[in-house]
Structure 1
Amino acid sequence: MKICFITEYFPKSENLEIKGGVEAVAFNEAYYLSKDNDITVLTSYEEGMEKEKNIGNIKVIACGKKRSYTQKGSFKNRLLFMKAAYDVAKKLDFDIVVGYNFITYIIAWRIAKKLDIPCVARYHDVWIGEWVKNIGITGLFGEILERYFLSRDIDLLIAVSNFTANNLKKHFPEDKIVVVPNIVEFKKIESEKFENRTISCVSRLVEYKRVEDLILAMDILINQNGSKYKDLKVKIVGTGPEEEKLIDLVKEKNLYNNITFCGFVEKHEDVLKIINSSHIFCLPSKVEGFGIVIVESLGCEVPFVASNISPIVETSGKKGGLFFQTENYEDLALKIQTILENPEIYKKLKNECKQQYELYKGIYIAEKLEKCYKFLINR
């Protein structure tokens, strides 16, 4: 099959330089499907990229003018990218086209119409009615795009979780929705545990990820428990518009000796090493469609503490970690304390990690995706 993937951002090399989960999903699926299919990825032209190059068996075409990574807003640059990707794709030959986020869904649909081929959307989460709440007034752009897209005659929506699929059914025909989870697979990471007990958090620093709840939980553990947790550390990996606000909160709570902001870590392997070297992983987010980093913590056999939201509960199978009440940093502190002070619980959670991680191996998920695409092409 000749498959076109449209993703707003894509790694520059096999080092997997990613800033968000969508890029990781697109790369992993392109990688596995490229073993038996011709995969072309259309993506933004970022600093350090070539206009065209091959990453393994994947052909990558950077579309439009050079632009910087952005997590919200940037309407003009995003619209220019959408047009540039469409202009490139309409001159090429594909059997099927797959969009990977709300910006690229519309492009995929228009390309499919132009080339008379099936259109698929890899759907991570449904934000209809929640855009402005999640990212502010700039979310109106996303709200309009998502509503418009789901009103089109798309051939198939492939949801990453049952949670996402159930939300899609409110806005789209149920018989055109299937569930195939994300591929989350990596080589065994070799790294020593950090000397001090350490909690890692890998997240975009945006409001709905609720990283401040982890900081406030640390305030309880370190500043309100005497010297019991004075050596407890946190490493926060990621960047975003909330970074300065979060740094100020750390200073306000006098936690600058305990909490480190690692910024953007270019190599995915180095991100995994931080998780692997930690004793606990934390994801305090109130909005997720799947929770890739939770599966990565499972793969590293690092017990997690996460917010009690349906996608994360589903992805983890309630194995390998404890859940706290969303946006309740006092409960988060309690769950961290439970893991730290109970070796038997820690051992049990660690043993559960490996079994759950096996469910997300690439070979199984790529086979499911391939069947979906072949069905659409051959019908």
Structure 2
Amino acid sequence: MITPAVWFPTVRTGTGTDVFTRTLADNLNARGVRAEITWLPHRAEYCPWSVRHPQAPDWSNIVHANTWLNWRLLPKDMPLVVTVHHTVHRPELRKQKGILRALYHQFWIAPNERRMLRLANQATTVSEFAADATRKDLVDHPIRVIYNGIDTDRFFPKPKDEGNEPFRLLYVGSWISRKGVDLLQPIMRKLGPGFELLYTGPQEGRVKGNTRDIGHLANEEQVVQALQDADVLLFPSRSEGFGLVIVEAMASGLPVVTSEIAPITEIIRNGVDGFLCPVNDTDEFARAIRRLKEDSQQYKQIRKSGRKRALDRFSVDTMTKQYVELYSNMLASAQNEEVRLAPLA
């Protein structure tokens, strides 16, 4: 049997897709499966002819790419795995994007994603919801769901002192409407004294009142520290492909108050691992947060349950094992059945 050797040509975006790629590559190497990332500048996404065509390492036998990577940057005649991380083409999201972003997604990203999915020997998504949306909005194509995984040894709970004042909420994410950042101010206003919002920046002054911009979290260690120092993750997103920071918070013993949307409903059980609130319902968000502050027993139980669910379903070991199996099966098929490769003509 041929051992997988995986090359990741990847556009650096500063988002969770970067985290996914680094995490998977690192853990493949730790398992003895050689893997390497070639980072491309962000302009490669929208102006691919402005960057030099990346060259696959001689030792590699599988290409694994994000569906937003421009198809022109792929090597010829190598087995291809593509992963769908975002579900941005649903009609209900158009009003949240603005006209320029909507046109960019419709006329540049969507055609590229369709091309990548058709070229791929295997497509994966990070949630059942993303798989369904991809089949509906892009290509009705066989897709395997492999949930994102995190290092549950690195993301772990830190003991909490009861009765902390103020009760610290944390928002981690991009500063865009799709993430519900415009809801942070109204939620804090409803909560009033005794609560503080920590948020990632640089967005100083975007949220008034009892808030603190903690700046850009430059690495995983800073993310771990921010999660361990907070009391609740506040994440009022309107649309997600998965929701990696939610799993990171759960593994860190941090209760999550978030929106009742797919695929977050695949991660959190309402009232068990966190609270799921109706989208845009700032009153319900405030009630859930206040309940966690006032009910110490429920707070402790949710910390414990969230940690266990992250260990059981969303560990990096589980994710890596599933990808190794997928790569190995692809190479076995290539040996036995002359699997279709990815022609670029």
Answer yes or no: is 1:331 the counterpart of 2:296: no
1:236 to partner: Cα distance: 0.5
The one-letter code matched in structure 2 to 1:178 is R
Q: Describe the superposition over 1:312-370 as per-residue Cα deviations: whole angstroms up to 9, x where unpaired.
A: 11122444201111112122112112222222321221221121111222222111101
Q: Distance in 2 between matches of 1:211 and 1:190?
A: 27
The one-letter code matched in structure 2 to 1:236 is Y
The runs of 5 or more residues in structure 2 that have no matched partner are 334-345
Answer yes or no: is 1:234 the counterpart of 2:197: yes
Answer yes or no: is 1:340 the counterpart of 2:304: no
More deviation, 280-289/120-129: 120-129
Q: Residues 22-37 of structure 1 correspond to what in structure 2 (within 5 A)?
A: 22-35=17-30, 36-37=32-33
- Counterpart for residue 106 of structure 1: 71
The one-letter code matched in structure 1 to 2:278 is Q
The one-letter code matched in structure 2 to 1:125 is H
1:218 to partner: Cα distance: 0.9
- Counterpart for residue 65 of structure 1: none
Task: Give the number of equivalent residue pairs.
Answer: 317
Query: In the superposition, relative to structure 1, how do residues 248 and 179 fare at CA in structure 2: closer, same or farther (>3 Å)?
Result: closer
Q: Distance in 2 between matches of 1:38 and 1:289?
A: 27
Query: In the superposition, relative to structure 1, how do residues 281 and 197 fare at CA in structure 2: closer, same or farther (>3 Å)?
Result: same
Q: Structure 1 length normalisation: TM-score?
A: 0.76
Q: Residues 237-316 of structure 1 correspond to what in structure 2 (within 5 A)?
A: 237-239=200-202, 243=203, 247-250=205-208, 255=209, 258-316=210-268
Answer yes or no: is 1:199 the counterpart of 2:162: no
- Counterpart for residue 307 of structure 2: 354
Query: In the superposition, relative to structure 1, how do residues 349 and 299 fare at CA in structure 2: closer, same or farther (>3 Å)?
Result: same
- Counterpart for residue 337 of structure 2: none
Q: Residues 106-185 of structure 1 correspond to what in structure 2 (within 5 A)?
A: 106-107=71-72, 111-112=74-75, 114=76, 116-130=77-91, 132-139=94-101, 140-144=103-107, 145-151=109-115, 152-170=118-136, 171-174=138-141, 176-185=142-151
Answer yes or no: is 1:217 the counterpart of 2:212: no
Answer yes or no: is 1:21 the counterpart of 2:16: yes
Q: Structure 2 length normalisation: TM-score?
A: 0.83
Check whether the contact 2:157–2:251 (CA below 8 A) recurs between aligned residues.
Answer: no
- Counterpart for residue 369 of structure 1: 323
1:161 to partner: Cα distance: 0.6
Q: Describe the superposition over 1:50-80 as per-residue Cα deviations: whole angstroms up to 9, x where unpaired.
A: xxxxxxxxxxxxxxxxxxx6xxxxxx66444
The one-letter code matched in structure 2 to 1:289 is G
Percent identity of paired positions between Structure 1 and Structure 2: 20
**RMSD, aligned α-carbons:** 2.5
Check whether the contact 1:94–1:117 (CA below 8 A) recurs between aligned residues.
Answer: no
Q: Distance in 2 between matches of 1:349 and 1:2?
A: 40
1:307 to partner: Cα distance: 0.7
Query: In the superposition, relative to structure 1, how do residues 355 and 248 fare at CA in structure 2: closer, same or farther (>3 Å)?
Result: closer
1:143 to partner: Cα distance: 2.4
Q: SS of the residue aligned with 2:169?
A: strand
- Counterpart for residue 342 of structure 2: none
Q: Distance in 1 between matches of 2:318 and 2:140?
A: 26
Q: Residues 38-117 of structure 1 correspond to what in structure 2 (within 5 A)?
A: 38-44=34-40, 78-80=45-47, 84=51, 87-89=53-55, 92=58, 94-102=60-68, 104=69, 106-107=71-72, 111-112=74-75, 114=76, 116-117=77-78
Q: SS of the residue aligned with 1:286?
A: coil
- Counterpart for residue 56 of structure 1: none
Check whether the contact 1:150–1:172 (CA below 8 A) recurs between aligned residues.
Answer: yes
The one-letter code matched in structure 1 to 2:71 is I
Q: Distance in 2 between matches of 1:286 and 1:136?
A: 15
* Larger relative contact order (Cα-Cα within 8 Å, sequence gap ≥ 6): 2
